[in-house]
Amino acid sequence: MCGLCIGNPQLMNSPGAKERIVYFDARTKIHLSNYINSRIDNNPALFVSLRNPYSRLQINGIESRLKMIGKSLGINRVHPHKFRRTLAAMAIDKGMPIEQLQRLLGHQKIDTTLQYAMVKQSNVKLAHKRFIG
């Protein structure tokens, strides 16, 4: 998220300086457009600090903001990686092939993606019924 730019919000520099495509649904595009149109700075970064000088938002800024939001909602241990893990778990639960999830997450090795694959027992039961019995 920190590496996104206004000119091309769908390309992000990820750890290891790899470029990665970021997908947005229509609702997200509307919110991003409204956000960009409301900004009063000239920084090319997609996400910037709230106060002048508007500098590119860094990971610690995102982490502290999420922690503050989580605390106000009574949720402990809110951090960016939790959203990534949740997205991966939800994708697997909905039947996304692990190879596609690997590409989405930008993993080179499938073993890394498999660490995110926390399968619910209820889904195992449904899969058994569907494929075996």
Ranges of the chain with pLDDT below 70 = 1-3, 7-17, 118-120
- Angle (CA) 36-80-107 rounded to 5° is 100
pLDDT at position 2: 64
Residue range 53-70, pLDDT digits in tens: 999 989 898 999 899 999
Closest by alpha carbon to 11, among 80, 97, 106? 106
pLDDT at position 10: 59
In degrees rounded to 5, what are phi and psi of residue 42? Answer: -115, 15
The domains of the chain are located at: 11-72, 80-131
| Helix H or strand E segment including 18 | strand 18-21
pLDDT at position 50: 85
Q: Give how far Cα 87 sits from Cα of 8, 10, 18, 40, Å.
A: 23, 18, 20, 32
pLDDT at position 19: 75
